[in-house]
Structure 1
Amino acid sequence: MSLTDTDIPNLSHTGRTETPMAFVRAIATAYAQRGMDPVPALTAAQIAPNLLKQAEARITALQMEWLSATAMKALDDEALGWFSRRLPWGSYGMLVRASLTAPTLGVALQRWCRHHGLLTDDIHLKISQDHGVASLELHEGCDLGPLQEFCVVSVLRNALGVACWLTDSRIPLLHTTLRFAPPAHADSYPVLFDGPTQFNAPIHSLQFDAGYLNLPVRRDEAALQRMLQRALLLTVRPYRRDRLLVEKVRQTLAEHPEHSRNASDLAAWLNLSARTLHRQLKDEGASLQQLKDAVRRDLSMDLLLRTQRPIKQIASEVGFQNEKSFMRAFKGWTGQTPDGFRGAQPG
């Protein structure tokens, strides 16, 4: 890609800040439980550490996605500390793959619930239906402690996001029930779950029209591979049938770097004008420069984790003119040097 060496992503003031800071504090708690410092992950998501103390603070969905992705890799735990044992990177992808060959969504969700129990018995998932209403229930097998809310909300939203993705259909909720008391940020819940939310309920559940259980699964292995490149999107944003332009741009930047030399080339490849490209990305809370840097950052992290290539070679592969400028940019993205990041990863 043809990018300037001084380009550093700046997410802090883009998009709608609707994700509660309580979820960020939960991730910081997971780091503390492992004796690790969360500051590099916060830095990678452009979240000032002092915001953790501000109960009313919010971050954007994009920041939450980046924070979660960085934390999952650093902790080697896709559950982010919720359960008594870690769920290694790829665990939830395995669940999706197990559901992919199901004929209908109902069968896919049954498989999802059953196979989730193989990963952990700290929670139990169940899908049922009664009088035309389907209910995805989450039962706690142990005390989830301070991570209860973050765990329950994340698992339910992830399952719903996968269900929507499998059927390529937005599934509106009729009702959400949660066992815990209304949190201080209860006003965020209309964004987290559409439809009414009941706190202090007997069970955790998502309820929707049972007719959706009869929808066919429309995805295949190729679609799964594309989705897994940014699977967290299914958890942090409501599903949309019209694929986000952000995703199209990211995929183009990653797979067709020859079209990313400038906005005009990229826009032409996407059958848009450059002005429309910038405007629609802004509407989705992103910018072209952020996405260019995100692709470079993700590729850099992947090469550092999967290979032993020299830093100089990685710098060249991700589009930097020299090693020094790459190291400066990587430190800006993650708060760590490339060598420090590589050395800090488990295994």
Structure 2
Amino acid sequence: MAPISSTTVSIVLVHQLFRRLDIATERKDALIQKVGIPPALLAENAARVTTEQFSDLYRLLARETDDELLGMFSRPARGGTLKYLCLSMLQSKNLRTALYSFGRFFRLILDDFTFVVSRQDNLVYIALEPTSPDHPISPFAQGMMLKLVHGVISWLAARKIPLARVDFTYHRPASVSEYVYLYPGPAYFEQPRAALYFESDQLEAPIRQDKGSLRAFLDRAPADWLFVSFAERIISHRVREYLATRLLQPCSIDDVAHGLHISVRTLSRRLREEDTTFQAVKDELRRDIAVQMLIKTDLPISVIGTEVGFHDSTTFHRAFKTWTGGTPKSYRGHHE
């Protein structure tokens, strides 16, 4: 069996989805179970959910509350907000003018912040500016809105637009290594503003979407604008992909460096630049595949352990507990 290597996200993000919503506990549990997340995982701070589960839950909550931004701001973004945002940008000359349209659109519907588009040397940035210094934008809202900007711009261009950098106003989080899977560029923290920076020439690209392709984008939302792969630019993705088909065999950093045609020293340095290590990438891959297989298959837990490179069941259980704070069985729900 060749397991898939799609990523998982922290259960903390699931808690963030509900943080500003007034939903009864019974209804919350029902929605969580509907997307296949065992409610017991909510008590495990290190637990993981698949990107599909997170996206499905987001979509259910947006419909439940008629707020596509899930209570993050003082006014709801009613159903249809993303659709009309995209429609307002489709007539833009290029991505640069589309960014201005993005900012103007949200100025009409939200009061908590404005989007400011400006230049800095050879870079163009779009920044979140709170309308009141007494009401800063939460870290979760910063991340979601910047992901929305990047996701929509990338969709308009029909390709993943690289970032020169991404800035956040909050402290560097313990989970910083996960940012490389969300933002295709270096992340900086404790900055004066939350912003995305693009190379100026990247924004000269024309709009390559139309009303005909918008339906599919909306049907997959928020997955397409939240979780995108940048394997062609990010070394940790390349390491992850190389390891994904070789989990049943011993594979050291020397083996991977040789397979990627770079030196071990260069590989280690580039991974450090992405705030990770070879062992961390390997463990995250095995964790994510194990979670996916526990949720999506009825394979015995011992077989799943073998598939991700553990020939001893006890060792697999111990590693899984370290990775997620829970047992493999807790991800099974009605299975086993």
Structure 2 length-normalised TM? 0.63
Aligned-partner Cα distance in 1 for 2:201–2:7:
34
Q: Does 1:110 align with 2:94?
A: no
**What secondary structure, in the 3-state scheme, does the structure 1 residue paired with 2:101 have?**
helix
* One-letter amino acid of the structure 1 residue matched with residue 50 of structure 2: T
Aligned to 1:4: none
The correspondence of residues 222-301 of structure 1 with structure 2, limited to 5 A, is: 222-238=212-228
Distance 1:286 1:107, change over 3 A: farther
Whether 1:166 aligns to 2:156 is yes
In structure 2, the partner of 1:154 is: 144
Q: Quote the Cα distance in structure 2 between the aligned partners of 1:136 and 1:19.
A: 26
Report how far residue 15 of structure 1 moved. 5.4
| Residue 24 of structure 1: aligned partner | 14
Residue type of the partner of 1:133? L
Alignment RMSD: 2.9
**In structure 2, the residue corresponding to 1:92 is in which secondary structure?**
helix
Deviation at 1:212, TM superposition (A): 1.5
User: How far is the alpha carbon of 1:183 from its aligned partner?
Assistant: 2.6
Aligned pair in 2 of structure 1 residues 239, 106: CA closer, same or farther (>3 Å)? farther
1:1-347 counterparts in 2 under 5 A? Answer: 16-31=6-21, 33=22, 37-142=27-132, 148-238=138-228
The separation in 1 between residues aligned to 2:292 and 2:93, in whole angstroms, is 36
Gaps in structure 2 of 5+ consecutive residues: 233-288, 297-336
**CA deviation digits over 1:293-322, x for unaligned, max 9?**
xxxxxxxxxxxxxxxxxxxxxxxxxxxxxx
Q: Residue deviations 1:13-60, cap 9 Å, x none?
A: 9754432222211112233x3556421221122122232232222222
Per the TM alignment, residue 222 of structure 1 is displaced from its structure 2 partner at its CA by 0.6
Residues 135-154 of structure 1: CA deviation (Å, up to 9, x unaligned): 12112235668x81221111
Does the residue aligned with 1:19 lie in a helix, a strand or coil? strand
Q: For residues 135 and 117 of structure 1, do their structure 2 counterparts lie closer, same or farther at Cα, with a shift above 3 Å needed?
A: same
Tell me how far apart the structure 2 counterparts of residues 187 and 144 of structure 1 sit (CA, whole Å): 28
Give, in whole Å, the separation in 2 of the partners of 1:174 and 1:240.
14
- Closer, same or farther: CA 81–15 of 1 in aligned 2, 3 Å: farther
Which 5+ residue runs of structure 1 have no aligned equivalent? 1-12, 243-282, 291-347
Check the 8 A contact 1:18/1:191 in 2, yes or no.
no
**Match of 1:82, as an amino acid?**
M
**1:161-200 deviation per Cα after TM superposition (whole angstroms, max 9, x unaligned):** 1101101122111211100112332232121212221111
Distance 1:223 1:241 in 2: 24
Instruction: Return the letter of the residue paired with 1:58.
Output: R
3-state SS of paired residue (2:174)? coil
**Which letter does structure 2 place at the counterpart of 1:221?**
K
Q: Distance in 2 between matches of 1:240 and 1:221?
A: 26
Q: For 2:79 and 2:162, how far apart are their aligned partners in 1?
A: 29
Partner Cα distance (2:198, 2:217) in 1:
24
CA contact (8 A) 2:68 2:81 kept: yes
Q: Which shifted more, 50-59 or 94-103?
A: 50-59
Give the conservation status (yes or no) of the 8 Å contact 2:55–2:221: no
Matches of 1:106 and 1:241, distance apart in 2: 25
